[in-house]
Structures are given as C-alpha cells and as structure tokens.
Amino acid sequence: MFVPSTLRRLALAGIAVLGLCSMSVAAELPAFKTGFIFTTHHSPFQVAASRGEAFRDLGVYLKPLVERESYELIKDGKPIAILDLVVAKSGSETATLFAQKHLDMGIASITAIMAGIDKGTPMKIVCPLQTEGMALVVPKDSPLTSWESLLQRVKDSKEPVKIGFHSPTSAPKIVLEGALVKA
C-alpha cells in the first residue's frame, strides 16, 4: 500500500515520540542490577521472573521487559523498579561482581558473601531467603540411615571417612564441619 511520504514521516515521528516517552517513564524508575545463580536454590526467583504475570493477584509480580534479562517490578498495579538480571556462576562470582560494582543486589550463598565481606567487599547480608536445600547424601544401599549412624561410622573407622563437597566456601561443607567438630 502506498503511503504519502509526509504521512509516513509523521507516523515515524509519532512512533519516535512514543518511544522516547516510554523511555523517559522507564528512566524515572530506579533500576537495579540483580544477580542470581542458575541453580535449584534460586528456582523461586526464576519462576517469579518466568511466570510473573501469574502472581498478579498477589499484588507484587515481575513483568518482562526483555525476557530473561529485564523486568519491571510491579506493586499494586504500578511499576516501582526495574530489575536487570545478571547470571553468576557461583556465590564467589557474585561477591566478585559486587566488588567490581556490577551488581546492586543479588541472591547467593551466604558463606561466599561472608567470605567476600571478610576480604573487604562493600556489601551486606539483608536476610536469608531459604533455610532448606542441604542434605548429606549416600548411596542407596549404604548402611548409613541417620546422623547417629554417620557419627558411629566415623568413630569406628580405622581410615578417614571421605565426605565430598562442591566448594570450600559452601554452606553444606561449613555446616557439616561444624556439626562434626561439635559431635
């Protein structure tokens, strides 16, 4: 369909003005670089982002601006902030991103953040987000069935008992070491 060039210019100008207006509205909202780790511990945050509109009736939800990258935080039907997502590989990397000023807030292993604070990274822990998720896992046919049976195995063993962990600053390692020392 032929559109006169003047009309085409006006339409493009109108679209540009609307785009600038929407950008200025977005610019008025505070924007936060928000870190998280692509792990099962952060599934609630990932679900909140990917299924945000499903939580609309709760009064607070995330509305995608750019899927998997940027979201409006909506409260009582009004946008109150923009969350720009940053995926980190670990709690230690999250602490490093804070040290490099690449994050405004984030979700990470509390032990990795404590280690970062100990090294002088200017950040603070606001609150724990979950208290579950750790487990001592053994093969299905293992005779170990409880904490007491593990302690007995450690006491009875002539060789050191080997217990694996995924990171030297992981919460499971620190909690297990503390419990074993106390026991």
pTM of the full structure:
0.65
Strands of 31-37's sheet, edge to edge? 60-66, 70-75, 78-88, 31-37, 105-106
Q: In a 3-state reduction of DSSP, which class is residue 97?
A: helix
The CA distance from 131 to 68, in Å, is 26
The CA distance from 126 to 175, in Å, is 20
Sign of CA pseudo-dihedral 96, 102, 104, 105: negative
For residue range 107-146, list pLDDT tens digits in order: 998 888 989 999 999 999 998 877 666 788 899 999 999 9
The CA distance from 157 to 180, in Å, is 15
For residue range 26-61, list pLDDT tens digits in order: 559 999 999 999 887 888 899 999 999 999 999 999
